[in-house]
Amino acid sequence: MKLIGASIIITCDENFKIIKDGGVLFCDKNIIKVGKFDELKQDDLQEVRFYQSCVIMPALINSHIHFEFSKNYSTLHYGNFGKWLDSIMQNRDMLMQDAEIYIKTAIKETLKSGVGCVGAISSNGLDIDFLSKSTLKVVLFNEIMGTNKDFFNIVKDNFKARLEKSKLLEDSRFRAAIALHSPYSLDIELAKYAIDLAKDYKMLVSTHFLESKEELTWLENNNGYFRDFFKYFFKNQNAKPCYSKESFLELFKECQSLFVHCLHLDNNTWDKISKLNASIVSAPRSNRLLNNKYFDLTKANEYNFPFIIATDGRSSNNSLNMLDEARCALFAYKDYEINNLAKEIILAMTKNPAKVLGFNNGILESNKASDFAVFYIKDIEMTTQIELNVILHANEVQDLYINGKRIDIENN
Ligand code: MCF
Ligand code: FE
C-alpha cells in the first residue's frame, strides 16, 4: 500500500468533497481510502509522500482528441468552418507525413497536463501502436468516413483491419471503439456497416454532429458550402445529404454514443438526442476557432447532459493541454457564477467523462482506480476559491499516477 497526501484533495465525488491536508491510501490498481493524511498513516507502507501547496485530484480525462493531426501548427485555416475543411482537404496528406514524431510529442504534452485517460479518434491507424504502448488509458475510436460508392469496399476493409488490430491490442488499459466521422462525410451504407460492428462487439461509438452552420444547411436544405465541397473535391455535381438530422440520430438508437460539438441543435434535436444512450462532448477552443460559437450549456442542463470538455486535435486547437481548455471554458461562459462554473469545469474533465469512457476513474473514493494528478499551486492552502484557482494556475503536473504508478513522463 502507498499513501500520498497534499494540502488540498479534490475528490470529485457525489458531494464534491474537498479535504484539507488530505490523503489517498492506495494499492496498484485501486484506492483503498481517502481522508485526512494523518489519519491514514500506518506502518508497513511501501511509500509515503506529502505534496505541500499542492492539489491532488483525479487524473484528467480528454475524451475527444485526434493525435494524428498533431503536426498542425499554422497550416490550417481558422475562423470559418468551410475554409477550415478546405484546408484540411488540401493539407491532409502533408499533415500525416511524419505523423509519428508528432504523435509521440502529443502523448507527452497530454500526460504533462495531467491527463491519464483519453478518447482518441484514429482516422488512419497511425496512432494505435503508440497509444497502446503508452501509459495512458485509451478508448481508441477507429474512424470511418466515405461518400463515394466506388471506394466503399476499400473503406470497409481498411476500417475493419484497423478495428481488428486495435481489438487485438485490448487490455485493461486499452479498448477499441468506433467513430462515424459525421453525417456530411459518411454514406449510410458505411455507417450501418460500422454501427452493426459496434453492436456486435458492444463498442462505444463517437461522432461529430452539427458542428457548423454549413452542416446544418446541408442536412436541412441540401445546399450551401457542402454542395460546392462535393463538386470541387469529389467531382460530384449531384451530391445529396445522406440523412436528415433525425435519420442520422436513429442510427445510434441501440448504441452507447458520444456526440461531439452539437453547436446547432434545435429543440426537436435536443429532445431526440436526449432520448438516446448518448453523451455530448464539447471542445470550446475548437468551436471558437472553426465556428465562432460556444456550446449551449444552459440547454445541456435543461436536457440533463453532464458537461464534458475535450481539446479536439491540434487540427483545431493551439494546444492539447486540458487546463488551457478549462481556462477557455471559464472565460467563455461569462454569464455563469464563476466559482460554480469552475467546479462544473473540473467535473467536465474528471467524473463526467469517466462515466462514459468506463475505466472506473475520475473520482477519488474507495475502489476507484488509482489515477491521480498532482498540481503545485502557490498559496492554494490560503484560498477559499480552490476550484477557481486550480483552473487559473494549474498547467503542468507535479506528478501523475496511473494505476498507482508514478509516471516518468519524459521517458514514456
Ligand atoms: O473535430 C474537428 C473538427 N471536425 C471534424 N473533424 C476533425 C476535427 N479535427 C480533426 N478532424 C478530422 C476528422 O477526424 O479531420 C478529418 C477527419 O479525419 C476531416 S475530413 C472530412
Ligand atoms: Fe474532432
- Tens-digit pLDDT profile for the chain (412 aa)? 999 999 999 999 999 999 999 999 999 899 999 999 999 999 999 999 999 999 999 999 999 999 999 999 999 999 999 999 999 999 999 999 999 999 999 999 999 999 999 999 999 999 999 999 999 999 999 999 999 999 999 999 999 999 999 999 999 999 999 999 999 999 999 999 999 999 999 999 999 999 999 999 999 999 999 999 999 999 999 999 999 999 999 999 999 999 999 999 999 999 999 999 999 999 999 999 999 999 999 999 999 999 999 999 999 999 999 999 999 999 999 999 999 999 999 999 999 999 999 999 999 999 999 999 999 999 999 999 999 999 999 999 999 999 999 999 998 7
H or E element in which residue 242 lies: none
The predicted pLDDT at position 411 comes to 85
Domain parsing of the chain, residue ranges: 2-59+361-411, 62-357
C-alpha 269/C-alpha 274 separation (Å) is 8
Tell me which ligand sits closest to the C-alpha of residue 67. Answer: 1
Ligand 1 pocket: which residues have CB below 6 Å? 66, 69, 88, 121, 123, 143, 181, 185, 208, 211, 286, 312-313, 315-316
Q: What is the pLDDT of residues 280-337, one digit of tens each?
A: 999 999 999 999 999 999 999 999 999 999 999 999 999 999 999 999 999 999 999 9
Q: Candidates 69, 187, 229: which one to mutate for ligand 1, based on the most atoms within 8 Å of Cβ? A: 69
Q: Which residues make beta-bridge pairs with 369?
A: 30
Q: Candidates 126, 181, 290, 320: which one to mutate for ligand 1, based on the most atoms within 8 Å of Cβ? A: 181
The predicted pLDDT at position 269 comes to 98
Q: State the distance from the centre of ligand 2 to the C-alpha of 123, rounded, in angstroms.
A: 10
Which residue puts its alpha carbon closest to atom 4 of ligand 1?
208
Q: Which residues make beta-bridge pairs with 207?
A: 180, 259
Which residue puts its alpha carbon closest to atom 16 of ligand 1?
88
Q: What are phi and psi of 372, to 5 degrees?
A: -130, 145
Listed residue (86, 42, 47) closest to 370, CA to CA = 47
Helix residue spans in 138-210 (DSSP H): 152-168, 188-201
Confirm if 144 and 90 have CB atoms less than 8 A apart.
no
C-alpha 235/C-alpha 239 separation (Å) is 9
The predicted pLDDT at position 283 comes to 99
Closest atom of ligand 1 to 290 CA is 3
Q: State the distance from the centre of ligand 2 to the C-alpha of 75, rounded, in angstroms.
A: 17
The predicted pLDDT at position 176 comes to 99
> Whole-structure pTM over 0.75, yes or no?
yes
C-alpha 89/C-alpha 76 separation (Å) is 10
b vs e for 327-350, b when ≥16 Cβ sit within 10 Å of the residue's Cβ?
Answer: bbbbebbeebeeeebbbbbbbbbb
C-alpha 214/C-alpha 81 separation (Å) is 7
Confirm if 24 and 56 have CB atoms less than 8 A apart.
yes
Closest atom of ligand 1 to 283 CA is 1
The predicted pLDDT at position 166 comes to 98
The predicted pLDDT at position 412 comes to 78
The predicted pLDDT at position 28 comes to 87
Architecture of domain 62-357: Alpha-Beta Barrel (3.20)
Confirm if 355 and 61 have CB atoms less than 8 A apart.
no
* Cell numbers standing for residue 40: 491514514
Length reported for the chain: 412
Q: Candidates 316, 317, 318, 325: which one to mutate for ligand 1, based on the most atoms within 8 Å of Cβ? A: 316
CATH number of 2-59+361-411: 2.30.40.10
Confirm if 178 and 163 have CB atoms less than 8 A apart.
yes
